[in-house]
Amino acid sequence: MRIGALSQRTGVSERALRYYEEQGLLSPLRRPSGYREYTDEHVHTVRSIRTLLAAGLGTATIADVLPCMVEEGGQLAAACPDLLVDLARERDRITAAMNELRAAREMLDAIIAAPVPAEAARALDCEEAVGTEFGASPVPSR
């Protein structure tokens, strides 16, 4: 498939896909015309890339990680010790980030769930606020 199709199937912009290639994360074949030709596997690869990017890994690290990923749920080989060290570090970073997110979410929850004192609402020139009880969807913070 060509880049437009891959973009649609992954929800990732064409620009981003070209960027990933530029960074060595994707290596589609090229037609004589220069058009990129992707396979179904690239769809999975792109998904992995997005996940790792979202986790804060840089493209360089991802480039190191990707070759270790074979198949979907299939198994993958680890790599050089250096990479393992990096990965362990990333793992810890991610865990820390999750904790920060949790803290922030609790902070927001506290504010959202806080009873809106009528006076406070008035003091904040938000008369309509009182009784608008909607937010604070009690999603169990697990």
Partner DNA sequence: GTTGACTCTGACATCGTCGTGAGGGTTTAG
Partner DNA sequence: CTAAACCCTCACGACGATGTCAGAGTCAAC
Q: Which residues bind a copy of itself (CB under 8 A)?
A: 48, 51-52, 54-55, 57, 65, 67-69, 75-81, 84-85, 87-88, 90-91, 94-95, 97-98, 100-105, 107-112, 114-117, 120-121, 124, 126, 128-129, 132, 134-137, 139, 142
Nearer to DNA, 24 or 135 (CB): 24
31 binds DNA (CB under 7 A): yes
- Provide the minimum distance between the beta carbon of 17 and a copy of itself in the complex, in angstroms, as a whole number: 19
Does 140 bind DNA (CB under 7 A)? Our answer is no
Phi, psi (degrees; rounded to nearest 5) at 37: -125, 115
Render 66-130 in DSSP notation, one character per residue.
GGG--SSSS------HHHHHHHHHHHHHHHHHHHHHHHHHHHHHHHHHS---HHHHHHTT-GGGT
Choices 25-33, 71-79, 82-90, 129-137; region in contact with DNA by CB under 7 A: 25-33
Binding to DNA (CB under 7 A) within 42-101 occurs at 50, 53, 57-59
Burial class (CB within 10 angstroms; exposed 0-12, middle 13-18, buried 19+) of 116: middle
Instruction: Return the closest-CA partner of residue 48 out of 20, 22, 29, 28.
Output: 20
Cα distance between the two ends of the chain: 42
In whole angstroms, the minimum distance from the beta carbon of 38 to DNA comes to 9
Closest alpha carbon to 49 in 81, 22, 77, 83: 22
Instruction: Give least dist CB 98 to DNA, A.
Output: 18
Binding site for DNA (CB under 7 A): 2-5, 7, 13-16, 18-20, 23, 31-36, 50, 53, 57-59
